[in-house]
Homo-oligomer: A and B are copies of this chain.
Amino acid sequence: MNTNNTKVTNLTDAVKSYVKDGCHLSIGGFTINRNPMAAVYEIIRQKIKNIHLYAHSNGQGVDELIGSKSLTCLEIAYGGSGKFASTCIRFRKAVQDKAIKIEDYSNFQMALRFLAGSMGVPFLPTRSSFGTDIIKKWGFPPEFRKNNAKLPNKKLIELDNPFGNWCDTRKVVLVPAINPDVTIIHVQKADYRGNCRIHGLSFADVEQAKSARHLIITCEELINDDALKNDPDRNQIPFIHADAVVHVPHGAYPTACYGYYDYDPVFLKEYAKIAKNDDKYHLYIQSQILGTLSHEDLMDKVGRDRLKMIAADKKRGYAKGLDRR
Q: Are A163 and B157 in contact, with the CB atoms below 8 A?
A: yes
Q: Which stretch of A37-45, A54-62, A63-71, A166-174 is in the interface?
A: A166-174
Contact B153 A200 (CB under 8 A): no
Residues of B within 8 A of A152 (CB): 163-164, 166
- Closest residue of chain B to A151 (Cβ to Cβ) is B166
Task: Judge whether A124 is part of the interface by a CB distance below 8 angstroms.
Answer: yes
A281 within 8 A of B: no
Tell me, in angstroms, the Cα distance from A176 to B234 when the chains sit together.
31
Q: List 26 A-B contacts (CB under 8 A).
A: A117-B167, A121-B124, A121-B127, A121-B169, A121-B172, A122-B125, A122-B163, A122-B166, A122-B169, A122-B172, A123-B125, A123-B161, A123-B162, A123-B166, A152-B166, A153-B163, A153-B164, A157-B162, A157-B163, A163-B174, A163-B176, A167-B179, A198-B233, A199-B233, A200-B233, A234-B234
The answer, yes or no, to whether A82 is at the interface (CB within 8 Å) is no
The 8 closest A-B pairs by CB, nearest first: A122-B167, A122-B166, A122-B169, A152-B166, A153-B164, A152-B163, A157-B162, A121-B125
**A171 (CB) vs chain B CBs: closest residue:** B122
Least CB separation from A159: chain B residue: B162
Q: How large is the interface on A (under 10, 10 to 19, 20 to 34, 35 or more residues)?
A: 20 to 34
Interface centre among A124, A125, A157, A166, by most B CB within 10 Å? Answer: A166
**Chain B: minimal CB distance from A128 (Å):** 10
A120 touching B127, Cβ below 8 Å: yes
Are B167 and A120 neighbours in the complex by a CB distance under 8 Å?
yes
A161 contacts B233, C-beta separation under 8 Å: no
Nearest CB to that of A162 among chain B residues?
B157
Alpha-carbon gap, A69 to B157, bound state (A) = 46
CB neighbours (8 Å) of A198 from chain B are 233
